[in-house]
Amino acid sequence: MTSDTGYNTDVIRLIADEAGQLLQDTKGPILLLHGMFSSPEDWIKRKDSLSESTPIQLAKMGYDVWIGCTRGRTETLSHTMYDLTTLEGQIAYWNFSYEEVGNEDISSMVDMIIANRYESCSKVAIVTHSSAANSSLVLAANQSKLLGQKVS
């Protein structure tokens, strides 16, 4: 996805477990969001190889699991207008705050999830790690985004 200001983001949807078994969602969508110094992969990683990762556990419990990747991660380190090979482009790219991540990145992820659910839901649960909580709270405070009608 590309924001109105040119930042690229991504959302990954879990549709099968690690063995390839299709997952059945009965409880609605959950959006998992990483922190500033982490990545979406951190939701999948685990120290104990005998237990399943949190997203797989949630999916097996019946949730429709989506993992968001906000701007500035390896997977999303690009922009439609800034040339990141130049110092000027890098400075311009990294000139954002929690506010832009919340109001642009997370807001568009929530809207995309609702749109992809084909009218089967009107709200998304958000689970955050670290600074993603700050961005989500910024979005929650923005009444123009109607977050209360879109996030449970």
**C-alpha dihedral over 126, 132, 135, 140, to 10 degrees?**
20
**Amino acid at the residue 111:** D
pLDDT of residue 143: 64
Query: Would you state the pLDDT for residue 122?
Result: 77
- Which one, of 16, 11, 8, lies nearest residue 34 by Cα? 11
pLDDT of residue 137: 83
pLDDT at 7: 95
How do the pLDDT tens digits run along the chain, 152 residues long?
998 899 999 999 988 777 787 877 778 899 999 888 888 888 888 778 788 888 988 998 999 999 999 999 988 999 999 999 999 999 999 999 988 998 899 889 998 998 887 667 778 889 988 888 888 888 888 766 666 678 87
For tokens 């705050």, what's the residue? 97
Tokens standing for residue 76: 């999303």
Domains, the chain: 10-150 (3.40.50.1820)
Q: What is the pLDDT of residue 145?
A: 64
User: What is the rounded distance in angstroms from the CA atom of residue 103 to the CA atom of residue 145?
Assistant: 8
Which pLDDT score, from 0 to 100, does residue 43 have?
83
